[in-house]
Structures are given as structure tokens and as C-alpha cells.
Amino acid sequence: ICVKPRQGGYTTYFMIRRLFIPCILNPGHNGLLIAQTGKDVTAYFRILRRCYNMFGVLDPFDKGQNIFAKELHQHLLHTVYSNRRELVFDQIDVSIHCESAEVEEAGQGFMVTHVLADEVARWEHDPEATLGNLKEAIPAGGTLDLISTANGWGGYFFEEAMRARDPNKTYHEFVYHFHPWWYHDEYFDTIPAKDTSLEKSELRLIMNHNLTLNQIAWRRRKKEELRVDFDEKYPENDTDCFLMSGQGFFDKQIISVRRDELTTYQPKWEGEKLTIFRNPKPHHEYIIGADVASGLDA
């Protein structure tokens, strides 16, 4: 399970490394990609088709260097037919097809060895029911990958991500992956000449994660363009990306500032009293109430 930033190439990477290559290297295996919408299915299948066309190609502009790739496509990786949603390799008994999560019964009714579910947090129907039926169709040795950007605090993808990253659980169904935006080295800008001072949050990133001023310049520009949506599309930790996304009632920016205050606050215990009546249990729901009145007479 992978909580991903935008424009990081995760869908393409998982499609090639976890779907296409495992299928063609194991005759008899089948692959399934479930996209968020039917429009996404068309776009993703175009990527899959390009991967097939370029497989084994040394130089796409020089046919003389691609004799092996040509022979490979004509024989071992020959496709009996290929449409907008499916690749079928008749020589190795392999098929890879794409479906939309708009169809609640996507992928049901047949055995599938490798499944890639994209943007699970934004599926229109119940992803738990859809994937629950699919899990029973995956044989031993098969794979199931869930990838998505965050979409609010709660829901199936959020719960699965929290369970997967919980170190106290004895069994993890998924291996958890999260990469902040600076994991990708193309996110940097030139430093504006007028900018000389740094905010506390920027200093904290530089000190904790060794970011450069060019990366901070990119971050400033993106935060100005996206405002409160920045933490969802380009997360810096795997809490704020959920907390600051989705349709929340409270102001996202205020929540973010308050969270920073709470996580960085170091109490001075002299003269202060703290009583913990009961420690919270992970993954339990709690209701919090606050009396904001000052206690003064009207």
C-alpha cells in the first residue's frame, strides 16, 4: 500500500514493475488494473500499451538495433488481440486487462494473479467490498497493490494505510510505503533574489531533512498555487496529507498550525498539572467536546 504524492510516476512504476513484468515472466499469470474512472482506464491502458511496444527496444529511432525486440514481439510476446482495455499474449497464456472502479463488481468472476488498484481513496463505490471479493480470486504467490493520494481522514484507504504502518500489530496485510515530495529530485526552483528570511516550518524542513534552498523555493511557489491543497498533493508527512485533504468542516490551515504547536510544544512541568485518566487505543473512534464559555455572568 502506497500513499503517494502527485506527479511522481507511481502509477506507471507499479504498472510496469508489479503488473506487466511479473505477468510476462510467469506464463499463465493474469494481471488486472483497476482505475478510478473509465477515462483513467483509457489513459492507463495507453501507458501499458506503450510499455509493451517499447519492451526490449534499444533505440526507438533506429530499427537496426531492435531486431531482438521485433522477434520477441512476433513470437514469445505475440498478442492475439489488443483492444482499449486488454492485452492477450497467446504464446505464454497471459492476459492483462484494465477496468474501472465505477463498476462495483470490477474484476470479479475469474482468477487474477496480480492486481493494481489505483486512487483507491477516490473510488465512487465501496472499495472494501470490491477488493474483498478480489482478494479471494488471487492465488498463493499473487500480489495486490493499493496506491492513492490522500483524500481525507477516514475511509477504507486511510484505515488500511494506518493499519499497515502500525508497528504494534503482529500481522500486516500490506507493506506500507510513503514518500514525501522531496523524495523526487526534480522538485526545485531557482531562488528569488529578494527572499532572505526563512519561516519556522522551512527551517525545520532544512534541519530535519537536509532540504536545499532551491527545494524551499519550489515549496513556496507550490503552496502559493495550491494553498490548502498542497499537503494533499505534495505531502510532507503521512498524517497531514490525510488531515489536510478531503471535505472537512474545520479550516485546514488552522488545523495545521495548531497541530504544529501541539507537536512542538515542550511543557514546563514546574507549576503545571497534567492528569491522564486513560490512554487512547489506536484505531478507536472518540468523541471530543469542548466548553468554550469563559464562565462569566452574561
pLDDT computed for residue 261 by the predictor: 64
Distances (CA, A) of 177 to 145, 283, 296: 11, 19, 51
Distances (CA, A) of 74 to 53, 63, 64, 70: 11, 15, 16, 6
- pLDDT at position 15 over 90: yes
Q: Which residues of 263-296 are buried (b: 16+ CB within 10 A; e: fewer)?
A: eeeeeeeeeeeeeeeeeeeeeeeeeeeeeeeeee
Q: What is the mean pLDDT of residues 42-55?
A: 90
- For the residues of 11-62, what is the DSSP string, one character each? HHHHHIIIIIHHHHTSTT-EEEEEESSHHHHHHHHHHHHHHHHHTT-S-TT-
Question: Please, how many CA atoms are within 13 Å of residue 274, restricted to the half-sphere of its CB?
Answer: 5
Q: What is the mean pLDDT of residues 22-37?
A: 92
CB 24 within 8 Å of CB 48: no
Q: How far apart are CA 45 and CA 272, in angstroms?
A: 61
Q: What is the pTM of this model?
A: 0.75
* Mean pLDDT rounded to a whole number for the chain: 83
Tell me the three cell numbers of residue 90.
497467446
List, for residues 225-267, the tens digit of each pLDDT value: 887 778 888 888 887 778 765 555 566 566 666 666 665 555 5
CB 189 within 8 Å of CB 160: no
- Amino acid type, 228: V
pLDDT computed for residue 150 by the predictor: 87
Could you say which DSSP state residue 139 is in? P
Which residues does 145 contact at the CB level (< 8 Å), separation at least 6? 1, 2, 14, 18, 115, 116, 117
pLDDT computed for residue 154 by the predictor: 81
pLDDT computed for residue 185 by the predictor: 84
Beta-ladder partners of 177: 2
Q: What is the mean pLDDT of residues 153-181?
A: 88
CB 118 within 8 Å of CB 68: no
pLDDT computed for residue 195 by the predictor: 64
Q: How far apart are CA 178 and CA 290, in angstroms?
A: 34
Phi, psi at 282, each rounded to 5°? -60, 140
Higher-confidence position of 266 and 122: 122
Orientation of helix 200-209 relative to helix 213-226, angle to 10°? 130
Q: How far apart are CA 297 and CA 225, in angstroms?
A: 46
Phi, psi at 259, each rounded to 5°? -65, -40
Q: How far apart are CA 20 and CA 83, in angstroms?
A: 16
